[in-house]
Amino acid sequence: MKRHNSYHPKLEALFPIAQGIAATFEKYMEVVIHDLTQPENSLIFIAGNVTGRKIGAPITNIILETLKQKGDQAPNLIGYQTTTKDGKILKSSTIFIRDDEGKIIGCLCINFDLTDFLTCREILDFFTKTEKGIDNNNQEEKFFNDVNEAMEEIVQSVLDNYPTPKKLMEKEDKLVIVRRLDEKGVFLVKGAIDYVANILGVSRYTIYNYLDEVRSSPNLNIIL
């Protein structure tokens, strides 16, 4: 929609471009063109309807202030946030149009209505928000097919995160491993004693002794 006037060819050439951009995003998009030679009623073309303005509306305060401060050297304003009188939140961009001498004669302004998208983001954030662990040092919960797989995975994880290789472990190291496995509940699993004993290269009775030692001395000073 435009006035039945004649405008600078560079501005008129933008009319179909503005129309195409607005049509691509339909109800969420408004594209307007301002003739800045007449700031008091600069809006000469509008495609879409987001801000509720009509042909003949004046220049905005943002554009006016930018021109006042920068003149013909004004930079394009891309992706800034604005809010309409009825509360819509917009992502806006203003591209200044210059004549052949470099003088600003107008601008093409894009106003994209973010309101629905921000609402969707809030809903998605609500339903996808999770806590990183439940009082377990933010560790990740893992899912297994059977209890033996779970036990083996936990044992291997403890060994992988211990600084001393299994072959070089002394008694103190194995006590630390047993304590960590006990804290993780490994020994609640049937067969865990034999499995850990085999992994650490000790007897099942040694594992029982290790368990007695770490459980009877929760503050045992084990050097890592």
End-to-end C-alpha distance for the chain, whole angstroms: 77
Q: Is the pLDDT of residue 212 over 80?
A: yes
The whole-number pLDDT of residue 132 equals 63
Same domain, 29 and 75: yes
pLDDT in tens, 135-193: 555 566 666 677 788 888 889 889 998 998 888 889 999 999 999 999 988 898 888 99
Q: How many alpha carbons lie under 13 Å from residue 62 in its C-beta half-sphere?
A: 15
Q: State whether the Cα torsion 11-17-23-25 is positive or negative.
A: negative
27 burial type by CB count under 10 A (0-12 exposed, 13-18 middle, 19+ buried): exposed
Q: Alpha carbon 63 to chain centroid distance?
A: 31
Structural domain includes residue 140: no
Share of the chain above pLDDT 70, in %: 88
Same domain, 111 and 184: no
Q: Is the pLDDT of residue 133 over 60?
A: no
The structure's pTM equals 0.60
Confidence class for position 217, pLDDT limits 50, 70, 90: confident
Q: Give yes or no for a contact between 43 and 2, defined as CB atoms under 8 angstroms apart.
A: no
Instruction: Read off the tokens for 168.
Output: 């070089």
User: Residue 22's domain spans which residues?
Assistant: 9-116
Last residue of a domain, one of 101, 116, 131: 116
CA distance 191 to 45: 79
For 222, residues 6+ apart whose C-beta sits below 8 A from its C-beta are 172, 175, 176, 179
Structural domain includes residue 136: no
Same domain, 112 and 152: no
Residue with tokens 């509306």: 57
How many other C-beta atoms are found inside a 10 Å radius of the C-beta of residue 64?
A: 14
Q: Identify the bridge partners of residue 107 per DSSP, sorted by sequence position.
A: 34, 96
For 97, residues 6+ apart whose C-beta sits below 8 A from its C-beta are 10, 11, 14, 104, 105, 106, 107, 108
pLDDT in tens, 27-81: 999 999 999 998 889 999 999 999 999 999 999 999 999 999 999 999 999 999 9
The SS3 of residue 35 is strand
Instruction: Read off the tokens for 108.
Output: 């093409």
Same domain, 167 and 111: no
pLDDT in tens, 79-131: 999 999 899 999 999 999 999 999 999 999 999 999 999 999 999 998 988 77
The whole-number pLDDT of residue 46 equals 96
Structural domain includes residue 193: yes
Q: Give yes or no for a contact between 109 and 118, defined as CB atoms under 8 angstroms apart.
A: no
CA distance 29 to 114: 10
For 71, residues 6+ apart whose C-beta sits below 8 A from its C-beta are 104
Same domain, 183 and 92: no
**Number of domains, the chain:** 2
Structural domain includes residue 61: yes
